[in-house]
Chain A
Amino acid sequence: MTRASISVVFAGSGGAGAMTAGAILLNAAARCGYYGVMTQLFGAQVRGGESAALIQLSIDPVDAQPDTYDVFVALDWEKIEQFAPEIPLNEKSIVFAAKDGGKAAPSVVKSRARISEMEMTDPGMTLLERALRGKRVNIFAAGLIGALVGLNEGSLWEALNETLGHKKPDVVAGNKKALAAGIHMAKQQQENFRLASTRQDKRWLITGNQAIALGTLRGGVRFVGCYPITPATDLVEWLAPVLQKLGGKLVLGEDELASINMVLGASFGGVPAMTVTSGPGLSLMVETIGLAVAAEVPVVLINVMRGGPSTGIPSKTEQSDVNLAVYGGHGDAPRIVIAPMSVADCIFTGEWAVYIAEAYQTPVIVLSDQLLGQAQQVIDLGAERPKPAQRRTDGGDPKLFKRYALGADPISPMTLPGTPDFAWVGDGLTHNEMGVPVSSASAHAAQMQKRARKITQFNPGKFWGEVWGEGETAIVTFGSSIAPAREAAKRLAAEGHSVRVIGLRVISPLPAEALKEALKGVRRIFVLEQNLGAQLYHYLLGAKGVPLDAESIARTGPLPFRPAEIAAHLI
């Protein structure tokens, strides 16, 4: 008897190596042709807090979190109670725990999951080795679960090598023994989690943050100005060495104010540029977003959302920056806001963001979130790519050149510094067509309308979003909430309730016509989002994107939506 999918959690105190165990399992499964996704759950502490790797493996593409987990591995019990409520288990779940890992967490016991204790280490280890090197419970656990799931041993060895092969020889040797011990232990277990066999297509294993970074590189970004902020830092850490090799530059600003202004400066110089941040950083950047709108400077802002307001929950997810992204700043400052619909779509959205920013000479804010950004996922290749678009830099006749010309086309030429006879001064002050500051009512209105027209002229075509399924009930949502919504719809469909899921890739300007088309024949609409204020819902109501009787499913983060939770709202 085999199964189509399995969900596994490795959990322990920080430093126990839960993420490493998860990475090895996911990597090995990917090598065997399975789809999979790993999300990360961290406490606030840098070292010694709690951490868990949440993994789903499947013969089909998978990106939603399950309702409950099948397997829970407690590397130790020390900190697990701190977040056990965030990892739902039930009586069908099985828990593997190290024999000497302490007392089982009360909420795990309460879930009535079956707990199986065992010696989780290489039995050949000497006392001294255990004391000096630790027992490598995590590597043991990766071997144990990998073998129980039915992954071939070769792929486990390859995954271990890819994940930890760069360590010192004695560490590598110890890890190998621990993995072998785990695989061996699996043979003595009664449990059977074997996954059905699958095809081995060419796929990628990538995180959402890496995928966005890659997309922006494809789009031509060669300058990044940023300030470290959780959960966006790993994006930049992946990008920094890569950008160097590509001949680009990444600068660590002294703060977010500096970072966004550096990005504007680089872009003014003609190099596609972006910043990467999270809510608190985006809050600091809004004044300069207004400047970029007024002076019409292309700039890409990647915002990996986390729990807010203020410092909020830095390491955990929320979709609560919709208002900030769409409206943030003073004055009328229209900009374009887009959101990736999945880890795989992060590549597309990142690349597209650069083309839009450059072509429309505007800030483009990309709303990702911690759940998407730090999820590592097996993705299929061959997705469509956006059509490249560039900045208009040809000034035409120098005698007639006007940087902010008012014409039929609201996009005016932006000549590059260094080009003779086409000098201009960019300005955040209200300016005339030449860019010279003026305070006349007519110039103000004309330039404001020019900028507004630029944004309304933006036509995303078929890339506005996507519709899955049909039915008279619809869920309208975005970002990381799309996956659980689709999973919920799938289950409801199996029960005879058809539900369509509408994912918005373009949030602002609202693709109203496309949304209207997508909602044809729908009688009941739910707007789903992970923030208390129902920001997307109110935005859609205000823009008449959904009718007044649309309903809202909105709650705070950081717990991801579970398919069952969404389904319960719908019926």
Chain B
Amino acid sequence: MSAVTAPRNPTLRKAHEFRSEAQPIWCPGCGDYGVLNCLTQAFAILELQPHDIAMISGIGCSSRLPAYTKCYGFHGVHGRALPFATGLKLARPDLEVVVVGGDGDGYSIGGNHFMHACRRDLDMLYLVMDNRVYGMTKGQPSPTTEGDWDSQIAPGGTQLRTFNPLAVALAAGANFVARGYAGDPIGLTDLIVEGMRWRGFALLEVLSPCVTFRPEEIHWKERAHRRTKTVAKDRATAIADTLTEDELSLGVFFRGEEVLSGAEVRPNISLSEIESQFAI
């Protein structure tokens, strides 16, 4: 495997140095602005350089985020950010891989990859900006939308149960599972830092209100709260916590086992030795 052997720049970066000049397409008041700020804060706290980081995303409002940073990044097709990040991390374990996206991208079209990324447990942060709506296509219900939420495309609501990403992630084997809120910058920055430091797959579900299509989410401000319960040590209790606590409780729900960094795979055979098996 090739790796870039660039000397690390010892200069510490400030948060704004991770921001690009590109203007976000997000609506005024969108929660994603807060998430972007917290991410760049976290990068600075972690003493990273922009080129150390690869920001990977799919499609949706929040998936536009990589272009707003000065990091390397890839804005791929809808729902496939996690497999892209999987390939990248396996090929380049030296990179800090951060995957960002929304609830539709991650839990609907990318739902299968979500489960399997939890199982693979590669060292990356998966930050989902959950606004419980498809914003870019102007207001359709997503898997986390309440079943009775009325919309043009689903009059009277979908009547479906909401998807619980934390419980699913835990059932699929994720070892770091947490929920943050875009309106709680200090708490969210802490969670991003912890998620990035975590060795293994870290799911960070972030409540990120869509003021345009879900204006009622403005009231998350009053209702979101830090969780007080001790972080569960066993998976079953953690799953129970995610199912019983209200959907606006913030903090870490589970810290399982971290992944021990595997030794770099080195070639121990030459291609001509492999070819010799065909000689007759």
Residues of A within 8 A of B94 (CB): 418
The digit string for B154-176, where 1 denotes a CB below 8 A from any CB of A, is 00000000000000000000000
B77 touches A288 (CB 8 A): yes
A270 touches B72 (CB 8 A): no
Residues of B within 8 A of A204 (CB): 278-280
B55 touches A269 (CB 8 A): no
A427 close to B (CB within 8 Å):
yes
B3 close to A (CB within 8 Å):
yes
B75 close to A (CB within 8 Å):
yes
Residues of B within 8 A of A203 (CB): 279-280
Residues of B within 8 A of A423 (CB): 50-51, 70-73
Residues of A within 8 A of B70 (CB): 423
Interface positions, chain A 269-324, Cβ under 8 Å from B, are 269-271, 273, 287-288, 290-291, 295
Pick from B2, B67, B280: contact of A378, CB under 8 Å: B280
Min Cβ gap B18→A in Å is 10
A262 touches B87 (CB 8 A): yes
Query: CA separation between A269 and B49, bound complex, in Å?
Result: 17
B112 touches A255 (CB 8 A): yes
Tell me the dominant secondary structure on chain B's binding face: mixed
Residues of B within 8 A of A419 (CB): 4, 6, 51
Pick from B66, B77, B280: contact of A428, CB under 8 Å: B77
The digit string for A394-425, where 1 denotes a CB below 8 A from any CB of B, is 00000000000000000000001111111111
Stretch at the interface among A129-137, A217-225, A497-505: A217-225
A254 touches B75 (CB 8 A): no
Residues of B within 8 A of A491 (CB): none
A261 touches B87 (CB 8 A): yes
- When C-beta atoms are compared, the residue in chain B nearest to A415 turns out to be B72
A268 close to B (CB within 8 Å):
yes
- When C-beta atoms are compared, the residue in chain B nearest to A32 turns out to be B280
B92 close to A (CB within 8 Å):
yes
Stretch at the interface among A71-79, A142-150, A238-246: A238-246
- When C-beta atoms are compared, the residue in chain A nearest to B7 turns out to be A420
Min Cβ gap B100→A in Å is 12
Interface positions, chain A 223-260, Cβ under 8 Å from B, are 223, 225, 242, 244-249, 251, 253-255, 257-259
B74 touches A426 (CB 8 A): yes
Given A417-B4, A420-B49, A436-B67, A266 contacting B90 (CB threshold 8 A): yes
B76 touches A291 (CB 8 A): yes
Interface size on B, residues (CB 8 A): 55
Interface residues of B (CB under 8 A from A): 1-4, 6, 9, 22, 49-52, 54-56, 64, 66-67, 70-77, 79-80, 82-92, 94-95, 112-113, 115-116, 265-269, 271, 274-275, 278-280
Pick from A30, A290, A295, A424: contact of B72, CB under 8 Å: A424
Residues of B within 8 A of A248 (CB): 1, 265
B80 touches A257 (CB 8 A): yes
Min Cβ gap B199→A in Å is 19
- When C-beta atoms are compared, the residue in chain B nearest to A424 turns out to be B72
Min Cβ gap A281→B in Å is 14
- When C-beta atoms are compared, the residue in chain B nearest to A245 turns out to be B269
B265 touches A30 (CB 8 A): no
B92 touches A258 (CB 8 A): no
Given A258-B113, A421-B51, A269 contacting B87 (CB threshold 8 A): yes
B2 touches A270 (CB 8 A): yes
A341 close to B (CB within 8 Å):
no
Residues of A within 8 A of B76 (CB): 261, 264, 288, 291, 295, 426, 428
A202 close to B (CB within 8 Å):
yes
B269 touches A425 (CB 8 A): no
A88 close to B (CB within 8 Å):
no
Query: CA separation between A385 and B183, bound complex, in Å?
Result: 60
Query: CA separation between A258 and B77, bound complex, in Å?
Result: 11
Residues of A within 8 A of B116 (CB): 254, 258
A418 touches B92 (CB 8 A): yes
Pick from A214, A261, A271, A416: contact of B83, CB under 8 Å: A261
B84 touches A261 (CB 8 A): yes
A246 touches B269 (CB 8 A): yes
Mind listing 25 A-B residue pairs with CB under 8 Å?
A: A27-B280, A205-B280, A223-B91, A246-B269, A251-B87, A251-B90, A258-B82, A261-B80, A265-B84, A267-B87, A268-B87, A268-B88, A269-B88, A271-B2, A288-B77, A417-B54, A417-B92, A418-B92, A419-B51, A423-B51, A423-B71, A425-B66, A426-B74, A427-B74, A437-B75
Given A245-B269, A249-B265, A265 contacting B67 (CB threshold 8 A): no
Residues of A within 8 A of B91 (CB): 222-223, 249, 265-267, 269-271, 273
Query: CA separation between A65 and B70, bound complex, in Å?
Result: 58
Residues of B within 8 A of A206 (CB): 278
Residues of B within 8 A of A31 (CB): 280
Query: CA separation between A417 and B3, bound complex, in Å?
Result: 9
Query: CA separation between A270 and B91, bound complex, in Å?
Result: 8
Most A-side CB within 10 Å, residue of B52, B66, B88, B279: B88
Query: CA separation between A418 and B91, bound complex, in Å?
Result: 13
Query: CA separation between A436 and B159, bound complex, in Å?
Result: 39
Query: CA separation between A270 and B274, bound complex, in Å?
Result: 24
A205 touches B86 (CB 8 A): no
B271 touches A271 (CB 8 A): no
B92 touches A251 (CB 8 A): no
B92 touches A222 (CB 8 A): no
Given A223-B91, A426-B74: 17 more A-B contacts, CB < 8 Å: A225-B83, A246-B274, A247-B267, A249-B1, A249-B265, A254-B112, A257-B112, A263-B87, A270-B91, A273-B91, A290-B77, A417-B4, A417-B51, A417-B92, A418-B95, A425-B75, A428-B75
A420 touches B51 (CB 8 A): yes
Interface positions, chain A 183-237, Cβ under 8 Å from B, are 202-206, 210, 214, 217-218, 222-223, 225
A173 close to B (CB within 8 Å):
no
Query: CA separation between A288 and B88, bound complex, in Å?
Result: 15
